[in-house]
Amino acid sequence: MNKLAVEKIPVSVIIVTKNEAARIGKALKTLTDFDQVMVVDSNSRDATLALAAAEGAQTHHFTWNGQYPKKRQWCLDHLSLRHDWVLFVDADEVMTEGLITEIAALFNDAPPVEAGFFIKGRYCFRGRILKFGQCNSKIALLNRRKMGFPIVNDLDIPGMGEIEGHYQPVFLPDLPAPQRKIGKLKNFMIHDTLDDLRGWQFRHEKYARWESSMNARDAWPDDPVRWRNLIKKFMRRSPLRAPLTFIYGYILRGGFLDGYGGYHLAHLKSQYYRLIGDLRTCS
């Protein structure tokens, strides 16, 4: 991308971190084409901030006060962002050349008319990108004048803490209906998390407790895409969510074509939803 770019991409990139020294450098090395890159750190005990600064990122400290806004919305509200368009990247996510080029093309003539864009995250297992199976898809690129992260009834729920949970940003209340458009990018980022099985299980056990309580309270905000919202509502109520997730990822989405890595991913996702179901049964 660098060879083709005359100017930096007019997007502010935000990475929220806590103890990510092992991964932050790899993530930042793929973000050099963007005009502004910011790392917002929650009192890391390792060298996360020093490594981020060495890569040229702007660094900021964040200490959560236990209330809303949580961390990502706090960034939108309080950071000195140069641009209305913001890209959220996690420390375990790596941009691909194709995705960078696609985002740059959005700003060739004028800023996009959409309020945000879904970006796929394809998992990496043992150094190999999984081409099939269930990927995660989230609105990671958004216009902060049109979208934001909602307030939900979860402050007393253990699990997610300072970070907004597993839901999408939403349209701002005063955004006119004709501007409520969401796009979808074709290229993907690499989600490099499967090899750390102990870390995956630790995080997802916490997430499951949070998600189970969110289900019990019916506290979820609506997904900005209607058909996705309907499917999510159905799946959260379904006692068959775990096996359906496995069938969808491993068979219908062709996860079996990725060999053991595809099975491993489908199994972990199914295991996660089985845990949520078990917690619901025990409560």
- pLDDT tens per residue across span 196-226: 888 889 999 999 999 999 999 999 999 999 9
Task: Summarize pLDDT for 67-80 with one digit per residue, the tens.
Answer: 999 999 999 999 99
Q: Count the neighbouring beta carbons within 10 Å of the beta carbon of residue 177.
A: 7
Task: Summarize pLDDT for 259-270 with one digit per residue, the tens.
Answer: 999 999 999 999
Question: How many Å separate Cα 282 from the centre of its chain?
Answer: 29
Tell me 231's DSSP state: H
Lowest mean pLDDT among 11-25, 36-50, 185-199: 185-199
> Could you give the C-alpha distances from 54 to 21, 90, 108, 121, 135, in angstroms and in order?
12, 18, 30, 26, 32
Q: Which residue has the tokens 């992260």?
A: 149
Q: Which CATH class is domain 9-282?
A: alpha beta
Q: What is the mean pLDDT of residues 92-105?
A: 97
pLDDT in the model for residue 197:
85
pTM: 0.94
DSSP 3-state of 201: helix
Burial, 154: exposed, middle or buried (Cβ in 10 Å; 0-12, 13-18, 19+)?
A: buried
The structural domains of the chain, with segments of one domain joined by +, span: 9-282
Q: Where are the alpha helices (DSSP H) in the chain?
A: 24-29, 48-54, 71-78, 97-106, 197-217, 226-237, 241-246, 260-282
